[in-house]
Amino acid sequence: MPLTDRVLMGPGPCNPYPEAVQALARPMLGHLDPEFVALLDETCERLRTVLRTDNPMTLPISGTGSAGMEAAFVNLVGPGDPVVIGVNGVFGARMCDVAARCGAEVVAVEAPWGQPIDPQRLLDAHPAPRVIAVVHAETSTGVRSDIAPLGAGKGDALLLVDCVTSVGGIEVDVDGWGVDIAYAGTQKCLGVAPGLAPLTVSERARERLVERSPSWYLDLRMIGRYTGPATGARTYHHTAPVSMVMSLHAGLGALLDEGLDAAVARHADCGRRLQQGLVDLGFELFAAEGHRLPQLTTVWVPGGVDDGATRAALLDRYGIEVGGGLGEFAGRVWRVGCMGHTARHRNVTLLLGALAELMDRR
Ligand code: PLP
């Protein structure tokens, strides 16, 4: 089967929007060419729209989602700073690692995998944290944690949110929820190839950036070129990944042409059909009810279904990629993505039909 027929239903990347793929073939431009600079400005404006923010400092960091995570911490956290972090999966744990490397006093608030983070426990974890950090959509478990109560109760702390798997797939409201710094990745519900990390920083957080970040590359005080006149002089810092920015610009264009609310509704509808279909086939859902992500469904692998063999058959015979479980859930849980351009009824129907055939349910 040609690789162009692959249906990417793992935890990421998804199938990019066709517009985002086509943009990768556009003629190369110099990174200081006025055409490119205008396109970059428009890309930042589109990011403000999808993140629902007016933050002047909103830009695509050069690097994958983890670069966004690292940029957030190395610009806000210094040695000895108390940082409260929700941990209910791999990516909360990664935040702890990154914060600890900045010298933070990390206060981890843990919840079992499959459960959301209780906002009140985060708010009560330390009397005066500099930062409260949480993953909105945990890709290792398919769980959504609530952000709005953290913004309402954060006090003097800065609220840092990982939106890698959420933005473009479920509601994200940076300004409405009082989020101070949020980052994402291009390869999930934004429907673009991996390679950039959209980042937004509130004016409140900008005033409290560390004096001298230990990272040269990710120092937000130096990345003026991206943010332009609104936040400082546009000067050379590093060469922008021109083709990836063009692709993000086009992918965001496709998303906004559809309408953000319509895209969120499409993800919700596909997730609902997929989760019901999997239950009908005998799968049990893993994530806590009421906190399940439509764009990333986690299920227990039923007894009698061989994890590796079944996922290999899905790939070989039907061209469908499905993700395996992580950590102690490897071999026992599947992670089924339905994100970005992949979130279509036809893909849900194809996967459910393929599973029914493989499991001999028809
Ligand atoms: N945060 C979350 C919630 C993720 O799902 C991922 C990747 O899957 C990351 C951070 C890291 O992003 P990347 O793998 O693009 O560096």
**Residue having the nearest C-alpha atom to atom 5 of ligand 1:** 139
Q: Say whether the peptide bond before residue 13 is cis (omega within 30 degrees of 0).
A: yes
Give the CATH number of the domain where residue 274 resides: 3.90.1150.10
Same domain, 70 and 172: yes
pLDDT in tens, 58-77: 999 999 999 999 999 999 99
Same domain, 154 and 216: yes
Question: Which of 133, 118, 164, 147 shows the shortest CA–CA distance to 295?
Answer: 164
Q: What's the CA-to-centroid distance between 34 and ligand 1, angstroms?
A: 32
- Please give the pLDDT value at position 242: 97
Mutate to test the pocket of ligand 1, among 14, 61, 145, 164 (most ligand atoms within 8 A of CB): 164
pLDDT in tens, 204-224: 999 999 999 999 999 999 886
The percentage of the chain sitting over the pLDDT mark of 90, rounded to a whole number, equals 93
pLDDT in tens, 44-58: 999 999 999 999 999
Same domain, 200 and 251: yes
| DSSP, residue by residue, 148-172 | HHHHHH-TTSEEEEE-TTTBTTB--
Asked if residue 231 has pLDDT above 70, the reply is no
pLDDT in tens, 140-181: 999 999 999 999 999 999 999 999 999 999 999 999 999 999
Same domain, 354 and 288: yes
**Residue having the nearest C-alpha atom to atom 7 of ligand 1:** 65
- Please give the pLDDT value at position 223: 86
| Distance set, CA 220 to CA 31, 49, 52, 110, 223 (Å) | 19, 21, 21, 30, 5
Print the domain residue range for 281: 3-14+259-358
How many angstroms separate the CA atoms of 47 and 60, rounded? 8
Same domain, 211 and 325: no
Asked if residue 127 has pLDDT above 60, the reply is yes
The atom number, within ligand 1, closest to the CA of 187 reads 15
Lowest mean pLDDT among 8-22, 76-90, 153-167, 230-244: 230-244
Q: Is the CB of 64 under 6 A from ligand 1?
A: yes
Q: Is the CB of 186 under 6 A from ligand 1?
A: no
Same domain, 93 and 137: yes
pLDDT level of residue 233 (50, 70, 90 thresholds):
low
pLDDT in tens, 99-117: 999 999 999 999 999 999 9
DSSP state of 292: B
Contact 323, 283 (CB under 8 A): no
- Please give the pLDDT value at position 225: 57
pLDDT level of residue 232 (50, 70, 90 thresholds):
low
Average pLDDT (259-280) is: 98
Same domain, 157 and 205: yes
Asked if residue 22 has pLDDT above 80, the reply is yes
Average pLDDT (273-294) is: 98
Task: Examine the fold and report which residue of 258, 276, 296 is the final residue of a domain before the chain moves on.
Answer: 258
Task: Examine the fold and report which residue of 215, 238, 258 is the final residue of a domain before the chain moves on.
Answer: 258
Domains in the chain, number: 2
Nearest-5° Cα angle at 18, 16 to 22: 105
| Distance set, CA 38 to CA 31, 204, 222 (Å) | 11, 27, 20
Same domain, 83 and 202: yes
Task: Examine the fold and report which residue of 258, 277, 309 is the final residue of a domain before the chain moves on.
Answer: 258
pLDDT level of residue 235 (50, 70, 90 thresholds):
confident
